[in-house]
Amino acid sequence: MSQMKHIDNTPSTPDHLLLPLLSRQISIGGTHVSAALKRRGDGVLGLDNFNDYYDPYLKRARQALLERTGVYIVEGDINDVALLNKLFDIVPFTHVMHLAAQAGVRYAMENPSSYVHSNIAGLVSLLEVCKSSNPQPAIVWASSSSVYGLNTKVPFSEKDMTDQPASLYAATKKAGEEIAHTYNHIYGLSLTGLRFFTVYGPWGRPDMAYFFFSRDILKGKSIPIFEASNHGTVARDFTYIDDIVKGCLGALDTAEKSTGSGGKKKGTAQLRVYNLGNTSPVPVSDLVSILERLLKVKAKRMIMKLPRNGDVQFTHANISLAQRELGYKPTTDLQTGLKKFVQWYLSYYSNGKKSAQ
Ligand SMILES: NC(=O)c1ccc[n+]([C@@H]2O[C@H](COP(=O)([O-])OP(=O)(O)OC[C@H]3O[C@@H](n4cnc5c(N)ncnc54)[C@H](O)[C@@H]3O)[C@@H](O)[C@H]2O)c1
Ligand SMILES: O=C(O)[C@H]1O[C@H](OP(=O)(O)OP(=O)(O)OC[C@H]2O[C@@H](n3ccc(=O)[nH]c3=O)[C@H](O)[C@@H]2O)[C@H](O)[C@@H](O)[C@@H]1O
Instruction: State whether the beta carbon of 211 lies less than 6 angstroms from ligand 2.
Output: no
- Average pLDDT over every residue of 6-29: 48
In a mutational test of the pocket of ligand 1, which residue from 27, 48, 83, 197 has the highest number of ligand atoms less than 8 Å from its CB? 48
The helix (H) or strand (E) run that includes residue 130 is helix 122-132
Predicted complex ipTM: 0.99
As a whole number of angstroms, the distance between CA 239 and CA 229 comes to 26
Q: What separation, in Å, do the N-terminal and C-terminal C-alpha atoms of the chain show?
A: 16
Query: Looking at the whole model, is its pTM more than 0.80?
Result: yes
Question: What confidence tens digit (pLDDT) does each residue in 105-145 have?
Answer: 999 999 999 999 999 999 999 999 999 999 899 999 999 99
Ligand 1: residues whose CB is within 6 Å? 29, 48-51, 59, 77-79, 99-103, 118, 122, 142, 144-145, 196, 198-199, 205
pLDDT digits (tens, 9 = 90+) for 238-281: 999 999 999 999 999 999 654 444 444 544 689 999 999 999 99
Name the band, by pLDDT with cuts 50, 70 and 90, for residue 329.
very high
312-to-75, 114, 168, 208, 229 alpha-carbon distances in Å: 34, 21, 13, 15, 12
Say which residue, 237 or 25, is predicted with more confidence. 237
Q: How many residues does the chain have?
A: 357
Which amino acid appears at position 54 of this protein?
Y
